[in-house]
Structure 1
Amino acid sequence: MGRIVLLSLTLVGVCLGGGAALAHWRGDATPPAAGPGNAAGPPAPPAEQPVTGRDASPRADRSAPPRRDAPDTPATVPSSGPGTFTTARSTGAKVDTGTLRRYRVQVEDGIALSAVQAAEEIERILAHPQGWAAHGRGSFQLVAEDADFVIRIATPKTADALCGAQGLDTGGELNCETADGVVVNLKRWMLGSPTFTGTPAEYRHLIINHEVGHEIGIRRHMGCGGPGKPAPVMMQQIKGLNGCVSNAWPYGPAGRYIEGPLVS
């Protein structure tokens, strides 16, 4: 997959990657308050796509059967790191058809997580048969440079700093989507979510699918489509399921898009 080159980025350089903060308040993070000049102005999602946002209940719906994945045994998750990142010096094949979006993967230094291995896992997630690419919502390719967006995995404090520079409140717990890409909280990557019935490995599908959903133009969130139904991937499931069953993929096994009412 290519050799790993250590790329040290200052927090300022990473945070100010481009665009106005108020135009990128998507993800699990709490957006800045609405006001003049801070209207949600992204293009409307495709007709098939409802999106829900802030869910009130902090408790999980545990009615779903256990997942088949073997449980993860993550090491202790550090709360902070140096704010510098290693880029996966890897180039992958183009996944499926449609508008090509090239991405690179960076992992914060000193957290005992391989950038190359993280990039390989993200490649597999984006190539999943229930994912965006498999259903004509674009194609993706892992690259080491000249990327359209970046996926960064960062410690909670670094994630807060990166997201906070865009006006987003992640509170040491959440992921976000910024002007130049996705910020993944290492805590969520390693431990999953208390509201999610499944392993951390499966929850990583939800993280990537949700944030990349914003990257492909889904600006708003969805709510639960009804008690017992699978939660839409564009639902902020970490904030509560509201009767839905946790779910990590945009599409069901039969290829039907999983949606719910638009909420934010």
Structure 2
Amino acid sequence: MTRPARAFVAVALALTLFAPSAAAFEAEARDRRTPGATEQTAEAYAVPVRRRVTYSVTTRGRITASLKVFRRQAQETFEDPRGWRAGGVQFRRVRRGGDFTLVLAAAGTLPSFAAGCSVQWSCRVGRHVVINQLRWAHASPAWNAAGRSLRDYRHLVVNHETGHWLGLGHASCGGRGRAPVMMQQSKGTGGCRFNPWPLPGEAAAVRRR
């Protein structure tokens, strides 16, 4: 092989090894989208939009979890057709203000929102939907003992606390079937199956509001 040919091959190999993959470009584009943007169209949902709400994201205390991941995964939860979107609610993230504030909070700061908020769990107080960083990072002992994924727990905790903001209280379970998302599943399900998404009856309750 001639010297120019060898040089051409070396350059081509370097470009192949170090060029970003298509997946990398897609991930970067996803992170640069306008807050609240979604790939899903109205046709992807069985229930029409009945209520549009906006929310902003903030933090309290020392945060070690990725805020970029928190924002993205929370919005994915809100956009999922299995979530409160099934109740006819469309969520759009804004830079500040909005109808409610989604807070990623260090565990020790939870009581600063209200006396009834525990350092162990997440909480909803007024316009604040507060996600405990400890739970966001590690789920809960009961959830982990059931072999459920951390990603599903994150769906659960965002759906549960947002459900309170939407006006729903805690729910119980009869010991079989899927647990309601408004049950305090972080502490256990009393024999029901762990479930991160609203049951049809819970979605219907939100649609009626």
Report the TM-score, using the length of structure 1 for normalisation.
0.55
**Are 1:191 and 2:138 counterparts?**
yes
Whichever residue aligns with residue 52 of structure 2, its letter is: L
Aligned to 1:212: 162
Trace 1:149-160 onto structure 2 (pairs within 5 A).
149-160=100-111
Flag as ranges the 4+ runs of structure 1 deviating above 6 A: none
Indicate yes or no: 2:54 matched with 1:102: yes
Higher CA-based Rg: 2
Partner of 1:161: 112
More helix by share: 2
Q: Which residue matches 2:198? A: 250
Contact 1:230–1:258 under 8 Å retained in 2: no
Q: Residue 152 of structure 2 aligns to which amino acid in structure 1? A: E
SS at match of 2:114: helix
Partner residue, 1:123: 75
Q: Specify the SS of the correspondent of 1:207.
A: helix
* One-letter identity of the residue aligned with 2:102: I
1:105 to partner: Cα distance: 1.1
* 1:131–1:209 CA contact under 8 A, matched in 2: yes
Distance, in Å, in 2 between the alignment partners of 1:90 and 1:120 is 11
Deviation at 1:145, TM superposition (A): 1.6
Residues 146/161 of structure 1: CA separation in 2 closer, same or farther (3 Å cut): closer
TM-score by length of 2: 0.69
Is it true that 1:200 corresponds to 2:150 in the alignment? yes
Quote the RMSD (CA, aligned, Å): 2.3
Say whether the 8 Å CA contact 1:125–1:205 is kept in structure 2.
yes
CA distance in 2, matches of 1:169, 1:181: 12
Task: Spell out, residue by residue over 1:118-145, the C-alpha distance to the aligned partner (whole angstroms, 9 max, x if none).
Answer: 1111000111121111x23311101112
Deviation of the 1:227 alpha carbon: 2.8
What is the percentage of aligned positions where both structures have the same residue?
Answer: 32
- SS for the counterpart of 2:172 is coil
Correspondences of 1:1-264 after superposition (within 5 Å): 91-93=35-37, 97-108=49-60, 110-133=62-85, 135-164=86-115, 168-170=116-118, 172-196=119-143, 197=146, 198-218=148-168, 220-224=169-173, 226-251=174-199, 256-257=200-201
* Structure 1 stretches lacking a partner, 5+ long: 1-88, 260-264
For the residue of structure 1 that corresponds to 2:158, the secondary structure is helix
Aligned equivalents of 1:234 and 1:106: distance in 2?
A: 23
8 Å CA contact 2:179, 2:193 repeated in 1: yes
CA pair 162-258 structure 1, distance change in 2 beyond 3 A: closer
Distance in 2 (alpha carbons) for counterparts of 1:227 and 1:143: 40
Cα shift at 1:241 = 1.2
**Structure 1 residue 108: deviation in Å?**
3.6
Contact 1:176 1:182 in 2 (8 A): yes
Once residues 164 and 88 of structure 2 are traced to their aligned partners in structure 1, the CA distance between those partners, rounded to angstroms, is: 12
Distance in 1 between the 2:84 and 2:113 partners?
Answer: 26
The residue type paired with residue 223 of structure 1 is S
Number of corresponding residues? 160
Deviation at 1:157, TM superposition (A): 0.7
- For residues 90 and 108 of structure 1, the distance between their equivalents in structure 2, rounded to whole angstroms, comes to 24
Q: Whole-Å Cα distance in 2 between the matches of residues 185 and 110 of structure 1? A: 12
Q: Tell me, yes or no, if the aligned pair for 2:176 and 2:193 is still in contact at 8 Å.
A: yes
Q: Aligned equivalents of 1:229 and 1:242: distance in 2? A: 11
Offset at 1:106? 1.4
SS of equivalent residue, structure 1 residue 141: strand
Q: Which amino acid aligns with 1:179?
A: G
What is the CA-CA distance between 1:169 and the residue it aligns to? 3.7
